[in-house]
Chain A
Amino acid sequence: MSAGRHDAISAMLGEYALGHLSAEERREVEAHLLACAACTSELREYTLLMDAMARTPEPVSPPAALRQRVLGGLVKPQTPDPKPQIPLLWPLAAAAAVVLGVGATLWVARDGRRAEADLRATIVELEQRIEQFSGQTDLALSILTAGDMRPIALAGQQDAVASAARAYWSPTRGLLIVADRLPTPPPGRIYQVWLIGGGAPVSAGLLGSQGAERGMLIVPPPPGIAAGMVTVAVTDEPPGGLAAPTGAMRLVGAA
């Protein structure tokens, strides 16, 4: 590398850390960094500097009420099990509804400050939905394309004989199940999905309703299911689901 080029790149590192370079300049810097230890270590100092600058304002305790507002406002469950999963297509509809909501909020914006707060909340919600949606799509794809994926046909039982479901189980990626022609669950009941791998049934989560008679669930592998033969079952349970099945088995299959 020429000394001139090194100097030119070195002079850009501060702006790189500041986020002031164009995409093309960034690529140029990054290509040089791969080959230049001196610039890499200099950039490390600049990134430390950016961090230090964020700490230059003296810490100020926010009002005590904010703590409650922040912690009380955390809604999205971080673990899938046994909370209901949002089926694949539902988030799209929800996202569309939120977009409409943004429009409506803008439309009725009379009181600026409040509308702005609403709008921000709406945008945050929209971001959450999109995150959920893309997470679900990624997970579904990774299950369907996993080398250890096994399709499992589930047959309807008892008063759900017309029902059928396809499950796709990958011990490393998780479970995708789509059920069709499901009867409406009895009042006050929901459908819960179970995996049985030799030991006690393990909840995979709740079957999300996706239009009439259709249900879907996409989840990472629940802990405690071995890689061997597995049975997938759907039962009806009280809202929220239970740790062990108690209700009637509506669908079952094994592979």
Chain B
Amino acid sequence: VSDFHLVGRLAAGDKEAIAELYDRHAARVFALARRILRSDSDAEDVVQDVFSQVWRTARRYDTARGTVAGWLLVIARTRAIDRLRARRIRPEGADTPLETIAAATVAPPDQMVSDEQADRVRRALARLPDDQRLALELAYFEGFTQSEIADRLGTPLGTIKTRIRTALITLRRSLRA
């Protein structure tokens, strides 16, 4: 049974379908939330948030928007970063609208990320120069804007932009290799 089929059953209120989705994807959702929040108990709360949101909104899930796993992970990242931000005091005017993350980062359904590609990206991320990796991780896993990262690291904004762009280009190439 495909994920898409399960989401269709969710929309009809089928609790077995959400149990099946949970069994398939909870470990990835949990891992991502833990990486972002660095707390098991907060990550568990995110898992709960993600699956309850999926349950409530399955009817509005648009297959054209991406794979089901990608959708779950986008929700997980958004929810986890929301929590992270609630924990810290944000400088004024420095908000990345999270809905733009949700809108922009769902992979198209015809192109699923393979485990092998995820492995390659993981290795490429580990091989990045420290300053590039740090900037990118602050952006991706901690939801900081580029100016927040610049402030935090005491580095000019232009330098941070360059580091993030360079890191993204390297990682994008690693998808193909």
* Binding partners A and B: yes
A residues lining the B interface (CB < 8 Å): 11, 14-21, 23, 26, 42, 44-63, 66-67, 69-71, 73-74, 76-79, 117, 120, 124, 128, 131
Q: Closest A-chain residue to B168, C-beta based?
A: A14
Q: In the bound complex, do residue A70 and residue B139 qualify as a contact, i.e. CB atoms below 8 Å apart?
A: no
Q: How many residues on B have C-beta within 8 angstroms of the other chain's C-beta atoms?
A: 68
Q: Can you list 29 residue pairs at the A/B interface with Cβ under 8 Å?
A: A15-B146, A15-B165, A17-B104, A18-B140, A19-B96, A19-B98, A20-B139, A45-B172, A48-B117, A49-B168, A50-B105, A55-B121, A56-B118, A56-B125, A57-B34, A57-B35, A58-B31, A60-B34, A62-B27, A67-B19, A69-B48, A70-B26, A71-B18, A73-B52, A74-B15, A74-B51, A77-B13, A79-B12, A131-B57
B145 contacts which chain A residues (CB < 8 A)? 20
A70 contacts which chain B residues (CB < 8 A)? 22, 26, 47-48, 51-52
Q: Interface 1/0s, chain B 54-65, versus A by CB < 8 A? A: 011111000000
Q: In the bound complex, do residue A66 and residue B105 qualify as a contact, i.e. CB atoms below 8 Å apart?
A: no
Q: In the bound complex, do residue B165 and residue A11 qualify as a contact, i.e. CB atoms below 8 Å apart?
A: yes
A63 contacts which chain B residues (CB < 8 A)? 44
Using A49-B172, A61-B30 as known contacts, list a sample of 6 further A-B pairs with CB atoms less than 8 Å apart, ordered by residue number in A.
Answer: A15-B165, A48-B108, A55-B28, A63-B44, A71-B15, A78-B13
Minimum Cβ distance to chain A for residue B30 (Å): 4
Minimum Cβ distance to chain A for residue B6 (Å): 13
Q: In the bound complex, do residue A19 and residue B104 qualify as a contact, i.e. CB atoms below 8 Å apart?
A: yes
From A11, A42, A53, A57, contact of B171 by CB (8 A):
A53
Q: How far is the CA of A66 from the CA of B44 in the complex (A)?
A: 7
Known: A17-B105, A47-B105, A49-B172. Is A55-B55 also a contact (CB below 8 A)? no
A60 contacts which chain B residues (CB < 8 A)? 27, 30-31, 34
Q: How far is the CA of A155 from the CA of B57 in the complex (A)?
A: 38
Query: Which chain B residues in 1-59 approach chain A with CB under 8 Å?
Result: 10-13, 15, 18-19, 22-23, 26-28, 30-32, 34-35, 43-45, 47-49, 51-52, 55-59
From B56, B98, B105, B111, contact of A131 by CB (8 A):
B56
Q: In the bound complex, do residue A19 and residue B105 qualify as a contact, i.e. CB atoms below 8 Å apart?
A: yes
Q: In the bound complex, do residue B175 and residue A52 qualify as a contact, i.e. CB atoms below 8 Å apart?
A: yes
Q: In the bound complex, do residue A51 and residue B12 qualify as a contact, i.e. CB atoms below 8 Å apart?
A: no
A23 contacts which chain B residues (CB < 8 A)? 97
Minimum Cβ distance to chain A for residue B166 (Å): 9
Q: Closest B-chain residue to A45, C-beta based?
A: B172
Q: Which of B28, B59, B107 has the most CB of A within 10 A?
A: B107
A17 contacts which chain B residues (CB < 8 A)? 104-105, 168
